Amino acid sequence: MNEDTRKASVPCTASDNKQQVQIAPPLLDWYDRHARNLPWRAPPGTPPTEPYRVWLSEIMLQQTTVVAVAPYFERFLARWPRIEDLAAAPLDDVLTVWAGLGYYARARNLHRCAEVVTKEFNGIFPDQEMALLKLPGIGPYTAAAISAIAFDRPAAVVDGNVERVISRLFALETPLPAVKPKIKRLAEMLTPQQRPGDYAQAMMDLGATICLPRNAKCMLCPLSESCQAHALGRPSDFPYKTAKPERPTRYAVAYFMTRDDGAILLRRRPEKGLLGGMMEIPSSPWRDNPWDDVEAAQAAPLDANWMPLEGDVRHTFTHFHFEITVWAASIRCQDDSAGRWVLPDYLGDEALPSVMRKIIKKGLQAGS
Cα–Cα dist 103/114, whole Å: 18
Rg of the chain (C-alpha set): 25
What does the DSSP assignment read for 37-88? --TT-PPTTSPPPPHHHHHHHHHHHTTS-HHHHHHHHHHHHHH--SHHHHHH
Q: Which amino acid is at 319?
A: H
The number of beta carbons lying within 10 Å of the beta carbon of residue 178 is: 10
Catalytic one among 58, 129, 163, 280?
58
Q: Which residues pair with 313 in a beta bridge?
A: 324
Residue 140 has φ and ψ, to the nearest 5°, of: -55, -45
Taking a C-beta distance cutoff of 8 angstroms, is the pair 228, 7 a contact? Answer: no
**Is 58 a catalytic site residue?**
yes
- 299 in Cβ contact with 285 (< 8 Å): yes
- The answer to whether 233 and 171 are in contact (CB under 8 A) is no
Contacts (Cβ under 8 Å, ≥6 apart) of 246:
none
Active-site positions read 58
